[in-house]
Amino acid sequence: MEKPLDKCLDEISHSAGVSGVLCADSQGLCLGVRGKASASSSGTIAALAERAAMLEPGSQDPLILLEGDNSQCLVHHNNSITLAVYKSPETS
């Protein structure tokens, strides 16, 4: 049942510059994780996407970019699924 999701996560995690991927549902439960992403951060990521969407009610779900010294994290929420992509700086 989860094979298409696993395949999708594998494809993303093997893309250039990507160091990790995490997929969470609307309840903040981890649906899949690859690379350096941690399953325990699924709740935080889902909550972050939900809160960010509240900034502009009625508009499309935002794409959130978290930038740190060593990596970037892109978070996007769509159809009750939240996807976070971790990118490392040298290749991004």
Partner 1 sequence: MADEMKKHLTDLMNSTDDVLGIVITDRDGVPIMKVASEETPDLALRPTFISTFSMATDQAGKLGMGKNKKMICMYGNYQVVHFNLLPLVVTVIASSHANTGLVMSLDKDIAPVVSQLAQVVDIASMS
Q: How far is the CB of 43 from partner 1 (least distance, A)?
A: 3
Q: How far is the CB of 89 from partner 1 (least distance, A)?
A: 26
Distance linking the first and last C-alpha atoms of the chain: 32
- Which CB, 47 or 66, lies closer to partner 1? 47
Single out the residue of 66, 84, 65, 74 nearest to residue 22, CA to CA. 84
- Which CB, 18 or 48, lies closer to partner 1? 48
Q: How far is the CB of 77 from partner 1 (least distance, A)?
A: 12
Positions of E strands within 1-92: 18-24, 30-35, 63-67, 72-78, 81-87
Residues binding partner 1 (CB under 8 A): 24, 27-30, 40-44, 46-47, 50
- Which CB, 18 or 45, lies closer to partner 1? 45
Single out the residue of 20, 27, 5 nearest to residue 75, CA to CA. 20
